[in-house]
Amino acid sequence: MNKIKFTQDEEGYLYNECYYDNLTDLLAIGVCNFCGCGRPDEALIYIMNSLKYIEKAFHDDYEYEEWKEEGELLFPTIGSNYFIYYWLSEMGFTEHGGSVPGWVTDKGFEFVKLVEQLKNEKED
């Protein structure tokens, strides 16, 4: 699946034949298959930040050491690092390629855009 296909009306979001009251539930429960309890918005932001981090590796103006240090803050252990890489690939947010983390897919970019929208709505 290349895109996150949903419809929106004044009441909420329809995704995979399920209706969600808000964008957090659509992304956390519908797209990511989380249960929805706890702090799903924080988990969504972590996923977004992970995708943005992976994308930075493909920018010529980004220094490797700076990228590596940012990764050590985002993923404090090798296990957390590889877990998110494997999970993002499984979700279709990244393309595995020859090795993880691979690169961000259209679906991953769309997810980032939707989480940014969610963050902006919560800040307003």
Name the CATH code of domain 38-123 (choices 3.10.20, 2.60.40, 3.90.79, 1.10.10).
1.10.10
In the prediction, which pLDDT does 57 show? 83
pLDDT in tens, 7-27: 999 999 999 999 999 999 999
The answer to whether 6 touches 22, Cβ cutoff 8 Å, is no
The answer to whether 106 touches 3, Cβ cutoff 8 Å, is yes
Q: Where are the domains of the chain?
A: 38-123
In the prediction, which pLDDT does 1 show? 53
